[in-house]
Structure 1
């Protein structure tokens, strides 16, 4: 019965859309079937009583709000917490969908929420690490720290492993090592019929390729085997700039994304612009990380040359750097919009100015917290993906791009429609102008996509066709298409 009543949605995604756990929403398909949902919860309780939380249980509230986004705070009929892959296969036998940063995509009202938080076992090998989907990236970083090694994964400590990896996964070091998906050696997967399989470069090779950026349309991953890299120390920089330095800040970002050395130094950063709609104060922030010892980090010289009130350089470890990088769990409501552009300083500065002007129209919104994000996607990131055993599903050309993003937070539900409509309208109009200028690129990264954006529509058409063929082969009954309520879906 459970299989025919419920669908799944897995939590965990990229830098801006941060998740604090791994979970699945099981949807009954018809919100009126409350008695059947109760029956499903009872069946789970009969089989796994110690792992099912009813609304009256002590830990229920903590589990149902273990999401960074307040708009994901819903009320499931019960919460199932399997302890191992066998229990996942026995109790679910359904597909998994990636969390998206908007309401209901990783939680459920009146359905069954399955959390994978208990699947936290790991094993460190010489150049790989096996990790469970209940782990956060700080858990992986801590496990590798004594070995002087690093995995390519989340940049904030509480980002979940599965969501970020399956949608691609942005890390500081993508210019040299590629995305998180390009550093997976093996997936252990529960398929829609409950079968447990492995997918790697020699076994279920098509499924392995599909999981490299195709999100969770194919199976529920119960273990990731990740490649690791010898990086015992890193050089870090935190720099802040006022509004007079914004143009140079953007220009430095453009220069950095264009670097394409034959023997690259792994380096990257989080680049954000914030605007206080009340005080009209603008600030720009760079949080940069580079492999090896260099003080100040050499790859950020263009930023260091810009005058600014804060210049902090350090040599440390990935663990020490990440330990204090908390995600904004349950802090505010939020909307995203994401688009790609070829590196062009003047146009990005015009985009920033348009964003700033747009924020002024929202100054009356309580708790308005706007951020303009500049994500660097250098050529080396695509090259690293192509050089793996099967490549990845994105099919991006060998060229540098910048993924610009609106991340807008606010306090009150009454402003949801206003903010999401504003974010969509402004970002789309700017993207269309970029098209007319032959500067736009169409790829949309799932981790920071708006709720109205279709990331799969920006994949190469032949890759989408292949993804659907693989999905149909591993899920011939269409469990994912019929029962999975939300997330990044391939469609029919």
Structure 2
């Protein structure tokens, strides 16, 4: 069965900044917001199409994906926590003004971290990292990128359990939970945060930790932007050391052997938490393969958009050991196409592990039991997607990425005090799936979205039919049409609703910030 495109496409905001019209909005709300921001002393931090024009368009163009590149009325870039408080207070005081919040801007669904008819509060200038050798804590601002964070900390001989891709921002990853290379040992990235500095809806600057605002501290671990704007994360560190890391690429004919190795690896993570893997079924053009491998393209020749499918095993041995029993089954799969395994630092690894940018992107996430039937169905659906989408859009990239989610991950989180995911409820080893497509042909998003969603829906339906669906959707991978907060369990849903009512009683982050996943939209458990 092919996935047929539907004429009904969700209302998606997409605007390339290439279509620039240096004209400000005529909205009275916009004028009132500008007046309030200027009165707060933020005139030089405010960019519009006609004032600080270059900075305005530079910030729009800095989004990793084309999909969220809306053109807001204005962008305000606070430089410190006090200016975040002033900007938030001014925007809240402007009747009818909606706004978006951006840290790194890596979430790719439309409207997640940008806005068309409103103002974007952009934390990109707040990108500093500091380390305190007495407390062994790293204090990290939300606008930083993980490449820079790791470079700074490695030079001091320490590391944190943070993001896995160089352009991902600090704020979104940590408030969304944060899958990390070290989840097999210490839980999710949010489990390593011991203190948050946060600006509440009324402009109050406060902290949240185990002893101060402990209810807020708990819900910030995966509850996203429902409670305030986090301006500093204080994280535990550990000694930095090299890793043994790289990509081993196999032909699609190796699928069954890799599935067997993947299942064995996931089951062994309970006793051997020494490695991190991504099992990636991917199809991309010859052009993209050349670019990813640093091969110069002949500018006089048309790009080769011939699609090639492969299976990439992205593997990281955390203790820098070449001879790892955890990875042995993968390394023994015959006939690899290529092998880039090498000794490197985490900062260098992350700096070189970048997803292609400046394209339209769609992501979905599912979680299902570690069931060979469901994994095989995933690869079957992947094959159909490649045929369907590449027919419409040659030169796109299509991925199905499988990640281990054993029950030990939830146990690590619980040992750190718990987060919002509620993974301790899950009693079966599972698979965390990210399904992603990206393309640059005109109309790619509108064409690909219904096809892609139908494929994900079919896989979810199959998992349910064999009793293998797991009630957990990882927020940082989800499309805006999904409901990750509603999968965190009744107890955590009630916690988040109570915290939102206490710390944001007027519902600023539920009504004036349309982007992101809203706890107010989650049904209250009985």
Secondary structure of 2:381's partner?
helix
Report how far residue 478 of structure 1 moved: 1.4
Equivalent residues of 1:65, 1:72 under 8 A apart: no
Counterpart Cα distance in 2 of 1:476 and 1:453: 25
Secondary structure of 2:115's partner?
coil
1:26: which partner in 2?
none
Counterpart Cα distance in 2 of 1:237 and 1:254: 20
Matched, 1:369 2:397: yes
Report how far residue 185 of structure 1 moved: 0.8
Which structure 2 residues correspond to residues 167-206 of structure 1 after superposition, within 5 A? 167-206=176-215
2:350: which partner in 1?
322
Matched, 1:63 2:77: no
1:50: which partner in 2?
44
Secondary structure of 2:163's partner?
coil
Secondary structure of 1:443's partner?
coil
Pairing partner for 2:113 from 94, 97, 106: 106
1:272: which partner in 2?
280
1:437: which partner in 2?
466
Which structure 2 residues correspond to residues 48-447 of structure 1 after superposition, within 5 A? 48-56=42-50, 57-93=53-89, 100-126=107-133, 127-262=136-271, 264-275=272-283, 281-307=308-334, 308-330=336-358, 332-366=359-393, 367-388=395-416, 390-396=417-423, 397-447=426-476
- Which moves more between the two structures, 455-464 or 467-476? 455-464
Secondary structure of 1:162's partner?
helix
2:13: which partner in 1?
none
Equivalent residues of 1:171, 1:180 under 8 A apart: yes
Equivalent residues of 2:374, 2:462 under 8 A apart: no
Equivalent residues of 2:100, 2:114 under 8 A apart: no
Q: Deviations over 1:280-309 (max 9, x none)?
A: 642111221122231144421111011212
Distance 1:41 1:352, change over 3 A: same
Distance 1:230 1:398, change over 3 A: farther
Counterpart Cα distance in 2 of 1:237 and 1:358: 27
Q: Deviations over 1:106-127 (max 9, x none)?
A: 1122421121112123221232
Counterpart Cα distance in 2 of 1:355 and 1:316: 32
Report how far residue 97 of structure 1 moved: 6.1
Normalised by the length of structure 1, the TM-score is 0.88
Q: Deviations over 1:221-262 (max 9, x none)?
A: 000001112232212132110111111122212211112445
Equivalent residues of 1:178, 1:382 under 8 A apart: yes
Counterpart Cα distance in 1 of 2:349 and 2:487: 34
Equivalent residues of 1:153, 1:169 under 8 A apart: yes
1:481: which partner in 2?
510
Counterpart Cα distance in 1 of 2:429 and 2:35: 53
Distance 1:205 1:266, change over 3 A: farther
2:479: which partner in 1?
450
Normalised by the length of structure 2, the TM-score is 0.83
How many corresponding residue pairs?
459
- Which moves more between the two structures, 58-67 or 86-95? 86-95
Report how far residue 219 of structure 1 moved: 0.8
- Which moves more between the two structures, 459-468 or 34-43? 34-43
Counterpart Cα distance in 1 of 2:162 and 2:407: 19
Report how far residue 209 of structure 1 moved: 0.3
Report how far residue 271 of structure 1 moved: 2.3
In structure 2, runs of 5+ residues without a counterpart are 1-24, 93-98, 286-304, 522-526
- Which moves more between the two structures, 209-218 or 88-97? 88-97
Equivalent residues of 2:385, 2:452 under 8 A apart: no
Counterpart Cα distance in 2 of 1:228 and 1:342: 32
Distance 1:430 1:122, change over 3 A: closer
CA RMSD between the two structures: 2.2
- Which moves more between the two structures, 41-50 or 232-241? 41-50
Q: Deviations over 1:330-364 (max 9, x none)?
A: 2x111122211111234312221122123312233
Distance 1:279 1:50, change over 3 A: closer
